[in-house]
Amino acid sequence: MKVVVIGNGMVGYKFCEKLKSMAPSVELIVFGEEIRPAYDRVHLSEFFAGKTADDLTLAGLDWYQDNNIRLHLGDPVQSIDRTAKTVHSHKGIIESYDYLVLATGSAAFVPPIPGVDKQGVFIYRTIEDLEMMNAHARKAKTGAVIGGGLLGLEAAKAMLDLGISNTQVIEFAPRLMPRQIDDAGSNILRNKLEMLGLKIHTSKNTSEISGGESITGMQFSDGTSIEVDMLVISAGIKPRDELAKLCGLETGSRGGIVVDEKLQTNDPSIFAIGECALYSGMIYGLVAPGYEMASVVAENLASLPRTGGVVPFGFKEITNIAEFSGPPPSGGRVAFTGYDMSTKLKLIGIDVASFGDPFLTGENIRTVVFEDTMKGIYKRINISADGKELLGGVLVGDAEQYNMLLQTCKNKLVLPPNPEDLVLGSRGGENLAGAGVQGLPDEAMICSCETVSKGAICNAVSELACETMDAIKKCTKAGTGCGGCVPMVKDLMLYTMKSQGKYIRNILCEHFNYSRQEMFDLVKLHELKTYNEVLDKLGKGDGCELCKPPVASILASLWGEMILKKGNDTAQDSNDRFLANIQKGGTYSVVPRIPGGEITPDKLIVIGQVAKQYNLYTKITGGQRIDLFGAHLNDLPDIWGQLIAAGFESGHAYGKSLRTVKSCVGSTWCRFGLHDSVSYAIRIEERYRGLRSPHKLKGGVSGCIRECAEAQSKDFGIIATEKGWNLHICGNGGSKPQHALLLAADLDDETCIKYIDRFLMFYIKTADTLTRTATWLNKMEGGIDYIRNVVVNDSLGMAQAWEAEMQTLVDCYKCEWKEAIENPEIKKRFNHFVNAPEVKDPTVKFETMREQKKVADWK
Amino acid sequence: MITLTDQKKITWFAACQISDVPANGGVCVKYGDEQIALFHFARRGEWYATQNECPHRKQMALSRGMIGTQEDEPKVACPFHKKTFSLATGQCLTGDECNIKTYPVKTEDGKVFIGIEGGL
Ligand code: SRM
Ligand SMILES: Cc1cc2nc3c(=O)[nH]c(=O)nc-3n(C[C@H](O)[C@H](O)[C@H](O)COP(=O)(O)OP(=O)(O)OC[C@H]3O[C@@H](n4cnc5c(N)ncnc54)[C@H](O)[C@@H]3O)c2cc1C
Ligand code: SF4
Ligand code: FES
């Protein structure tokens, strides 16, 4: 049997994967118009957030080769001869088929507005589109998107990501996302988007795109106009049925190739799947129904010999399919009968979800609505009048309950006595609303992209010993599509493990059956000093990249010895091993410590001289100091030699250790300053420099409550008061910012430092690896009150011991870089080639930008 | 005489002294225009060599990676994004990155030799 597929998009690829897994010997030929093998269009926007075309690829060229699939890329099919059963490609290839599968997807619908062909007007569908947008965005200052639906809002986010902060969304309908959410939900979404700086116009009809060769503005039918120099049109999709039309297949009046529940067109040898297929008057513009269609056709084709009666039952039937080219399928075992269009999206960081029928109203429907305009949260559920069944709903701003609600709706689970608990959470009572994952039936579809049921996931955990997300993904494929089900899969994994009596601990890795906290105590108890000793005494096997850095960090926190000695060098994460952060291209950064951000003119000059001599890129960092980028490994010892001679020391920018203690100028100069915040910041930075911890540490000292040092976003932040210092702890910037909480007020200099000593030792002893203080606090039972009890009231009786331990570490501090360059054994490791120490890595390439160098981009 | 057509023939070239390579770590060896990562897995008394380039982002970095095992399979983790590769077979153990090239290694008289198929 010979099958030809036209279109190598998401659904076309899924079809190949399914068919080849069921019938490996089928002759399969694929034509794709794009120059790349199928990629993940759903996550296209991540291209702007740093993902590359490679990252998005679903399967590389070798996959097609290994599976014996002939793939013609960049070669669209131009016509189909249904009588001869052949297809004709642009490059002139003629290929015959027994069965033809159209998976041509859709194109962006571009309304016929005068001026749409101007430069600077884009659509948003392929990687090429994004590459073109990227190039244009460099010159653009103001942007607009036509279309306030799902794709339009994604495009608007892309514009923001491209740095065009002045972006407007133009929607023809009176509200955003008219197909997915109701009026009230749209309003909340609109407010949130406006808060992020997007300008939204609804009920607006574009009449003309103005400008010369390039776009300069837009005119609307209500007489208004705006100036823009970049526009993305995202006004809907248009199924690509042009080939089908050309060869006389039946198509819908508004586009789409008409198919039945076998996805068969009016020519029984031709199928259509994905976004080009029109089933029961409907185009399914989502990936999950497309995957379902691909499975149905693959399964029916793979079972052909059975239904055609050519091959007897047994294993052979599948291999023999190679010779089968009999009559078109009549029966077929499986069918496509429509698909649930529930979706959950993250738009510009805002959750939006709808499931079941979100718009239901009427006498037999009870609607529960929760709205918080301050926080921008809207939730609506539609329930049957008897309160037994969930029929649909909308979630905006907080869609944490989406998976549970969707499952409850799809599986017709019985609702709790107070159905409003489903969206409000149970208030006051012990029982959480709904029964959680354990309440779902085994057939409940958890991953709809890959059709994986609850039963299959639990089975993978209990029978196949998949006890990590990675293992489950590999084994069941759950969570590998849109990723929306991952939290639920994780819950199911933990629940199944728990129900097997497995105690779930954060053990380091396969070599150590202990958590970091347990390791810390054991290493101390046994007085172990090297990674190898720790592995021999407490672990098994030969270690790995997961356990080496935390063990090395524990050793450093406990004994304060030079981290590259005693064979511990190769247990360090690569950045620690070379005492510098590795950069794109393989060069390193140099960050000397500049305590409190204070620096003399002479030292500034030295930094400038060194940067010039070694051709380094210089930048003021977000941590009040100077980073020198692009140093060759070979040059690091000389660079540091010069810096150290001028009085600098390592800034530990590479370690999980103290970074900076940020200061404001304070009472020495500032008219509001209450105390000398700079001197205090320097004292604190010098006290904790070099200290190794589970994650990096940052501090700040502000001279008054105006808080110019942003101390409340730091792991420990100190703010001057009339009477002393207020100490705040466990603040965090990063991706989940969190304000620090007040630990104690009005402290004198010495007490404040005592409390920081105790707090840091408590954290270092008990936190999981790579856990910042904020996350540590969030997981701590009893929260800040408990920590206050331990640190201030000494409820564990550890205060004295911790202060003494900290003092020992403070006393044994030495600059790592100084030691490294003075020790010939360590120094000789800073070469790129072991057998050609004078040669630098010849593959490193730089470019020029704003009079400095920058590293050439990833390949 | 070694000829290029003799594919099975292995030429051994002296890369460095045993003591030049840190225990349980790697170094990068220059072989003409090629870069080879050489590892001394001292805990296991084993030596490995692979291409130095990580296929993920084409970075010359594997020699600076941490080595270890996964279910007894010796592996190296690239310092950039921690993709891991088997030192024994070159197979990528995390995801679908392509596999890396491996080379035979032997030690003699305090020296480390890397075997190149076909030879110079
Ligand atoms: C250079 C700098 C950006 C800049 O040009 O300003 C920077 C650069 C890096 N940051 Fe940062 N961060 C820099 C200030 C910050 C700040 C701002 C601050 O400290 O006031 C933050 C948010 C505050 C915070 O940490 O709470 C910040 C939050 C992060 C995070 C997220 C941490 C988190 O808790 O979520 C990471 C990732 C990590 O550590 O795992 C990170 C990681 C990184 C790394 C190390 C990424 C890496 O592994 O290669 C970057 C490498 C720098 C290099 O090669 O030297 N950087 N980074 C800043 C150096 C400050 C310094 O002098 O040491
Ligand atoms: C920015 C964006 C975000 C999205 N987000 C989501 C989401 O969050 N959730 C979700 O479920 N869906 C989402 N989608 C929709 C999803 O990507 C599509 O449903 C899915 O890609 C459809 O797959 P397909 O194979 O039918 O079409 P496509 O992926 O478009 O593939 C069709 C392929 O066929 C090729 N082709 C067409 N004609 C020919 C010819 N004559 N010869 C050869 N090749 C041809 C095309 O070039 C194309 O490569 C999103 C889409 C976009 C653009
Ligand atoms: S410097 Fe920090 S914020 Fe900037 S790209 Fe690197 S890690 Fe991200
Ligand atoms: S470059 Fe090696 S893992 Fe990314």
The residue type of A623 is G
DSSP helix/strand/coil, B25: strand
Residue of A553, A573, A574, A581 to test ligand 1 pocket, by largest number of atoms within 8 Å of CB: A581
pLDDT at A316 over 60: no
Greater pLDDT, B103 or A334 = B103
Q: Which residues, in sequence order, are CB contacts of A747 under 8 Å at separation 6+?
A: A724, A725, A726, A727, A755
Domain-embedded: residue B13: no
- What would the pLDDT profile of A235-246 be if each residue is shown by its tens digit? 889 999 999 999
pLDDT at A351 over 90: no
- What would the pLDDT profile of A147-170 be if each residue is shown by its tens digit? 988 889 888 888 888 888 889 999
- The whole-number pLDDT of residue A256 equals 95
- The whole-number pLDDT of residue A706 equals 94
- The whole-number pLDDT of residue A534 equals 96
Nearest atom in ligand 2 to the alpha carbon of residue A449 is 11
- The whole-number pLDDT of residue A791 equals 96
Q: What's the A619 CA to ligand 1 centre distance in angstroms?
A: 13
Burial of A525 (0-12, 13-18, 19+ CB in 10 A): exposed
From chain A, pick out residues whose CB is under 8 angstroms from the CB of B40: none
Q: What's the A126 CA to ligand 2 centre distance in angstroms?
A: 8
Count of structural domains within chain B: 1
Provide the angle, in degrees to the nearest 10, between the axes of the packed helices A749-766 and A799-811.
Answer: 90
- What would the pLDDT profile of A508-565 be if each residue is shown by its tens digit? 888 998 889 889 999 998 999 999 999 999 999 999 999 999 999 999 999 999 999 9
- The whole-number pLDDT of residue A319 equals 36
Tokens 């979100």 sit on residue: A358
- Domain final residue pick, A792, A811, A830: A811
Residue among A545, A839, A843 minimizing CB distance to B66? A545
Count of structural domains within chain A: 6
* Same structural domain, A231 and A142: yes
- What would the pLDDT profile of A633-673 be if each residue is shown by its tens digit? 999 999 999 999 999 999 999 999 999 999 999 999 999 99
Give the mutation candidate from B64, B67, B78, B93 for the A interface (greatest A CB count, under 10 A). B64
- Split at pLDDT 50, 70, 90, the class of A364 is confident
* Same structural domain, A347 and A302: no
Stretch among A30-39, A142-151, A335-344 having the lowest mean pLDDT: A335-344
Stretch among A55-69, A323-337, A398-412, A486-500 having the lowest mean pLDDT: A323-337
Domain-embedded: residue B3: no
pLDDT at A321 over 60: no
- The whole-number pLDDT of residue A425 equals 60
Query: What's the angle, vertex CA A545, arms to CA A542 and CA A546, rounded to 5?
Result: 100
Domain-embedded: residue A614: no
A667-672: long-range pairs with CB below 8 Å, 24+: A667/A703, A667/A720, A670/A703, A670/A704, A672/A703, A672/A704, A672/A706
- Split at pLDDT 50, 70, 90, the class of A792 is very high
pLDDT at B84 over 80: yes
Nearest-CA residue for atom 47 of ligand 2: A33
- What would the pLDDT profile of A367-409 be if each residue is shown by its tens digit? 888 888 888 889 999 988 888 888 889 999 888 888 888 888 8
As a whole number, the mean pLDDT across chain B is 89
DSSP helix/strand/coil, A119: strand
Nearest atom in ligand 1 to the alpha carbon of residue A625 is 62
- The whole-number pLDDT of residue A63 equals 94
Ligand nearest the Cα atom of residue A33: 2
Q: Using only the alpha carbons of chain A, give its radius of gyration.
A: 31
Give me the CATH number covering residue B61.
2.102.10.10
- What would the pLDDT profile of A430-485 be if each residue is shown by its tens digit? 333 334 677 778 888 888 778 888 999 999 988 888 888 888 888 888 887 766 77
Q: Check CB contact of A853 with chain B, cutoff 8 Å.
A: no
Domain-embedded: residue B92: yes
Domain-embedded: residue A817: no
Domain-embedded: residue B65: yes
Q: Check CB contact of A855 with chain B, cutoff 8 Å.
A: no
Nearest-CA residue for atom 27 of ligand 1: A734
Stated as kind and residue range, the H or E segment containing A282 is strand A282-283
Greater pLDDT, A410 or A638 = A638
The residue type of A288 is A
- What would the pLDDT profile of A710-720 be if each residue is shown by its tens digit? 999 999 999 99
Give me the CATH number covering residue A28.
3.50.50.60
- The whole-number pLDDT of residue A330 equals 46
pLDDT at A426 over 50: no
Q: What's the A55 CA to ligand 4 centre distance in angstroms?
A: 12
- Split at pLDDT 50, 70, 90, the class of A326 is very low
B41, B74 Cβ separation under 8 angstroms:
yes
Domain-embedded: residue A527: yes
Q: Token pair of A607, please?
A: 């930094």
- The whole-number pLDDT of residue B36 equals 97
Q: Token pair of A418, please?
A: 């107070």
Do residue A832 and residue B28 have CB atoms under 8 angstroms apart? yes
Stated as kind and residue range, the H or E segment containing A811 is helix A799-811
Distance CA A468, CA A680 (A): 46
A156, A198 Cβ separation under 8 angstroms:
yes
Domain-embedded: residue A596: no
Do residue B22 and residue A835 have CB atoms under 8 angstroms apart? no
Domain-embedded: residue A795: yes
Do residue A542 and residue B69 have CB atoms under 8 angstroms apart? yes
What residues form DSSP beta bridges with A29?
A: A4, A70
- Split at pLDDT 50, 70, 90, the class of A418 is confident
* Same structural domain, A223 and A359: no
Binding pocket residue ranges, ligand 1, CB within 6 Å:
A 581, 583, 589, 591, 619, 621-623, 625, 627, 653, 659-660, 696, 698, 732-735, 772
Q: Check CB contact of B24 with chain A, cutoff 8 Å.
A: yes
- The whole-number pLDDT of residue B8 equals 63
Domain-embedded: residue A487: yes
Stretch among A238-242, A276-280, A387-391, A769-773 having the lowest mean pLDDT: A387-391
Domain-embedded: residue B14: no
- DSSP summary character for residue A694: S
Query: CA A634 → CA A326, A500, A614, A638, A828, distances in Å?
Result: 69, 54, 11, 8, 9
- The whole-number pLDDT of residue B2 equals 40
* Same structural domain, A246 and A98: yes
Domain-embedded: residue B9: no
- DSSP summary character for residue A359: T
Give me the CATH number covering residue A450.
1.10.10.1100
Give the range of the structural domain holding residue A679, as residue numbers without chain letter. Answer: 658-811
pLDDT at B10 over 90: no
Please report, to the nearest 10 degrees, the dihedral formed by the alpha carbons of residues A770, A773, A777, A780 taken in order: 40
Domain-embedded: residue B7: no
Give the range of the structural domain holding residue B66, as residue numbers without chain letter. Answer: 20-117
* Same structural domain, A688 and A780: yes
As a whole number, the mean pLDDT across chain A is 88
Query: What's the angle, vertex CA A696, arms to CA A690 and CA A701, rounded to 5?
Result: 80
Q: What's the A653 CA to ligand 1 centre distance in angstroms?
A: 8
Q: What pTM does this model have?
A: 0.56
Closest-CA residue of A relative to B31 is A835
* Same structural domain, A147 and A68: no
From chain B, pick out residues whose CB is under 8 angstroms from the CB of A569: 22, 25
pLDDT at A347 over 50: yes
Closest-CA residue of B relative to A830 is B27
Nearest atom in ligand 2 to the alpha carbon of residue A243 is 41
- The whole-number pLDDT of residue A5 equals 98
Provide the angle, in degrees to the nearest 10, between the axes of the packed helices A287-302 and A10-22.
Answer: 30
- Percent of chain A at pLDDT > 90 equals 61
Query: What backbone torsions phi and psi does residue A365 show, to the nearest 5 degrees?
Result: -120, 135
pLDDT at B49 over 90: yes
- Split at pLDDT 50, 70, 90, the class of A492 is confident
- Domain final residue pick, A777, A796, A811: A811
The residue type of A215 is I
The residue type of A305 is P
Domain-embedded: residue A706: yes
- The whole-number pLDDT of residue A171 equals 93
Single out the residue of A17, A343, A10, A332 nearest to residue A151, CA to CA. A343
Q: Token pair of A24, please?
A: 């490996």
Q: Token pair of A638, please?
A: 């000389």
From chain B, pick out residues whose CB is under 8 angstroms from the CB of A535: 43
- DSSP summary character for residue A509: B
Q: What's the A697 CA to ligand 3 centre distance in angstroms?
A: 17
Is the ipTM above a cut-off of 0.95?
no
Domain-embedded: residue A779: yes
Domain-embedded: residue B73: yes
* Same structural domain, A316 and A453: no
Q: Check CB contact of B11 with chain A, cutoff 8 Å.
A: no
- The whole-number pLDDT of residue A348 equals 67
pLDDT at A200 over 80: yes
- The whole-number pLDDT of residue A471 equals 85
- The whole-number pLDDT of residue A164 equals 87
Stretch among A420-424, A440-444, A695-699 having the lowest mean pLDDT: A420-424
* Same structural domain, A449 and A419: no
- Region B47-67 average pLDDT: 95
The number of angstroms, rounded, from the C-alpha of A734 to the middle of its chain's C-alpha atoms is 14
* Same structural domain, A523 and A567: yes
Single out the residue of A795, A692, A803 nearest to residue A756, CA to CA. A803
* Same structural domain, A36 and A66: yes
- The whole-number pLDDT of residue A389 equals 87
* Same structural domain, A397 and A418: yes
- Region A609-615 average pLDDT: 96
Distance CA A697, CA A707 (A): 19
* Same structural domain, A669 and A798: yes
